[in-house]
Amino acid sequence: MCLEGASAVHFQDFNAEVLRCLTIPNVRANFVKKQRPPLATNEMESNIPAEVRFFSGDWCEVHKLLPHVWENENPKSSVSSSEGEPCAGYDIILMAETVYSISSLQTLYELTKKCLSRPHGVIYMAAKKHYFGVGGGSRQFLSTVENDGVMASSLIAEVADGSSNVREVWKFSFK
């Protein structure tokens, strides 16, 4: 997203350690790869065109840290768009392999509703259709979304090689 010109990209994980040890080095590596000649580490930040931030926390409370969320139907952020309107929610939410546990599907869904820009925000979710042994899956998350009734869903891609688990990418947006 950063390399494609997004003005702000916020990463989230449950563990700060994962962000420090994997996510941040990964982001750095992608910028180094893109830029010729490679820049020294301390020069890199100033050359990243986007606002890149990292947040750790549980889905049930990470909205307290995220700057672009809705609180009680009102934007939390005081940041304004170019039209002077309060700006809340992210234009795009990307998630992969996040819907394996049935017990956290509702919490994750509630978080995405708080974080998605209205009315035009879009969520892309990549997941296995079913996670054997834990019970979650893309279709379980889809049921959670459909039961609430405020978002439309569409299947964007399906990867089925006939020998391993079926993987899907779903798109969700407000109706």
Ligand X SMILES: C[S@@+](CC[C@H](N)C(=O)[O-])C[C@H]1O[C@@H](n2cnc3c(N)ncnc32)[C@H](O)[C@@H]1O
Q: Treating both helix axes as pointing N-terminal to C-terminal, what angle do 105-115 and 138-148 enclose, rounded to 10 degrees?
A: 60
Residues in contact with 34: Cβ distance below 8 Å, sequence separation at least 6, in sequence order: 3
Length of the chain: 175
Q: Which residue intervals of the chain are DSSP H helices?
A: 16-18, 24-34, 41-47, 105-115, 138-148
Nearer to ligand X, 13 or 110 (CB): 13
110: contact with ligand X by CB under 6 A: no
Sole binder of ligand X in the list 97, 146, 148, 158 (CB under 6 A): 97
Cβ at position 12, least distance to ligand X in Å = 7
Check residue 13 for interaction with ligand X (CB under 6 A).
yes
Contact 123, 145 (CB under 8 A): no
Q: Are 169 and 126 within 8 A, CB to CB?
A: yes
Three-state DSSP at 78 gives coil
Closer residue to ligand X (CB): 14 or 120: 14
Which one of the spans 1-9, 37-45, 92-100, 164-172 is the region binding ligand X (CB under 6 A)?
Answer: 92-100
87/98 with CB nearer ligand X: 98
Nearer Cβ to ligand X, position 56 or 173? Answer: 56
Cα gap 88→77, rounded to integer Å: 6
Shortest distance, CB of residue 60 to ligand X, whole angstroms?
A: 7
Residue number, 134 or 152, with CB nearest to ligand X: 134
65 and 12 Cβ atoms separated by less than 8 Å: no
- The contact pattern for ligand X, residues 48-87, with x = CB under 6 A and - = no contact, is ----------xx----------------------------
Q: What residue ranges bind ligand X (CB under 6 A)? A: 13-15, 58-59, 96-98, 104
